[in-house]
Amino acid sequence: MGGADLALLVVVLCALASVVVLFQTVSTQDKRNEESITKDLLENLPLPVFVLDSDFRIIRCNGLFESLVGKMPLEKFLYEVFRDHKVIDALQTCQKEGTASTPFYLTPSAEKRSYYMLLKRTNGEIIGTIEECVHGSSKEDIELYQKMLHELKTPLSSVRLMLELLEEEEDPQQRKDLTSRIIDEMDRLNHLTSDLALLVKMDRGLIDRMDKVNIVNLLSEVIWQMSVLADNKKVSIEAEIPSRSVFVVGSKSLLKSLFINLLDNALKYSPERAKITVTLQEQEENVLITVADEGEGIPEEQREKVFQDFYRATSKADGLGLGLGIALEVVKFHDGRLWLEPNQPHGLKVNVALRKA
């Protein structure tokens, strides 16, 4: 299993553990909303995930888990699904020590396809994630894993502290505020999980086929999607794009992720009542898209560093510092160019050049 894959397992497990603790801590009235959040998170996670009770019976799982082992009724014992003795040993270890992990075979076969299971005990329940083993890991994978574990400490510590406060708090408004802040932290972890899943997909070639993409329509969809977040922050998004269709060569899903990432990054660094401008210009062979904000900008000596994973030019913005690094990887995947320049009188311009279809 590669370092990036193991990192993804850790993030998924930490995110789900926090949600399970939250679900068990909140009041009965709050649980209706938290049940929905937990269900949505399970289905959106990029790996097979399951939750067990103290007797190792399955009480929750997502669609990817069912795709791996087949649809089954809940309350079935996990060791009835995976009859590998390593899984049983790992469950017993997790029950005693709080965490456990093990490689295992899904079913005896000539192919000997092996998987990796990571388990964590949280408030009497056990959460598990599964990933197919890919042997060997690069130095870059290991560094990414180490950086990510370091960055996860802050939001996870924050969630744990707020959960403890929530358990003791009796005032309904204070409980509501704490719950909202916990959900914000969970969104940060969920965003990191999505970014890592995108990197894994690109690394393994699990992406949509390259095709003609109407970039005008795609940008309009992204701007509409991000306008709700912008309105909440009292930031306006203005589009200077043609009404006619303009096509580029690419993967629609990756390009959508790219521009959501760029707009999300611009929003993080924009003060209230600022403006973000999205422009599109046709060139002879390329299409140039620019996202310009009115934030603090990035000093010239730091502009190359912001493409490194987990690097932030300022500590004032939330997030885990993967946005521009992810964006650069997507643009490179499309044989395009991405570069930064200052926006006048202040702010940052992110320029993306994509090949015309």
Predicted confidence band of residue 308 (pLDDT cuts 50, 70, 90): low
> Measured in whole angstroms, how far is the alpha carbon of residue 235 from the centre of its chain?
24
Superfamily of domain 211-355 in the CATH hierarchy: Histidine kinase-like ATPase, C-terminal domain (3.30.565.10)
Of the two residues 350 and 42, the one the predictor is more confident about is 350
Q: How far apart are CA 346 and CA 295, in angstroms?
A: 7
Contact 105, 112 (CB under 8 A): yes
9-13, 57-61, 133-137, 285-289, range with greatest mean pLDDT: 285-289
> Measured in whole angstroms, how far is the alpha carbon of residue 125 from the centre of its chain?
24
Asked if 3-204 and 211-355 have one fold, the answer is: no
Can you list the positions of beta strands (E) in 6-150?
49-52, 58-61, 99-105, 114-122, 125-132
Domain boundaries, the chain: 3-204, 211-355
pLDDT of residue 149: 53
**Inter-CA distances, 116 with 10, 101, 230, 327, 357, Å:** 12, 7, 40, 29, 41
Please identify which residue in the block is written with the tokens 């913005």. Answer: 317
Predicted confidence band of residue 35 (pLDDT cuts 50, 70, 90): low
Of the two residues 324 and 356, the one the predictor is more confident about is 356
Q: How far apart are CA 163 and CA 159, in angstroms?
A: 6
Q: How far apart are CA 283 and CA 287, in angstroms?
A: 6
pLDDT of residue 160: 73
Predicted confidence band of residue 41 (pLDDT cuts 50, 70, 90): low
Q: How far apart are CA 337 and CA 135, in angstroms?
A: 32
pLDDT of residue 245: 95
Contact 255, 329 (CB under 8 A): no
Predicted confidence band of residue 103 (pLDDT cuts 50, 70, 90): confident
Model confidence pLDDT, tens digit, residues 231-263: 888 999 999 999 999 999 998 888 988 898 899
State in Å, rounded, how far the first CA of the chain is from the last one.
Answer: 37
User: Smallest Cα–Cα separation from 260: which of 180, 330, 178?
Assistant: 330
Give 3-204's CATH code, choosing from 3.10.20.740, 3.30.379.10, 3.20.20.140, 3.30.450.20: 3.30.450.20
24-28, 218-222, 315-319, range with greatest mean pLDDT: 218-222
% the chain with pLDDT above 90: 22
Whether the upstream peptide bond of residue 299 has omega within 30° of 0, thus cis, is: no
Model confidence pLDDT, tens digit, residues 168-187: 888 889 888 888 877 777 77
DSSP labels for 156-197?
A: HHHHHHHHHHHHH---HHHHHHHHHHHHHHHHHHHHHHHHHH
> Measured in whole angstroms, how far is the alpha carbon of residue 192 from the centre of its chain?
3
- Please tell me the total number of residues recorded for the chain in this structure: 357
Region 20-43: mean pLDDT is: 56
Here the contacts of 264-267 (C-beta below 8 Å, separation 24 or greater) are 264/226, 264/229, 264/323, 265/319, 265/323, 265/324, 265/327, 265/350, 266/291, 266/292, 266/293, 266/295, 266/348, 266/350, 267/226, 267/229, 267/230, 267/233, 267/235, 267/293
pLDDT of residue 222: 92
pLDDT value at 111 more than 60 = no
84-93, 133-142, 181-190, 273-282, range with greatest mean pLDDT: 273-282
Q: Which helix (H) or strand (E) holds 250?
A: strand 247-250
Predicted confidence band of residue 3 (pLDDT cuts 50, 70, 90): very low
Residue type, 272: E
pLDDT value at 217 more than 50 = yes
Q: How far apart are CA 16 and CA 42, in angstroms?
A: 8
Whether the upstream peptide bond of residue 345 has omega within 30° of 0, thus cis, is: yes
Predicted confidence band of residue 147 (pLDDT cuts 50, 70, 90): low
Residue type, 316: K
Model pTM score = 0.55
Contact 293, 262 (CB under 8 A): no
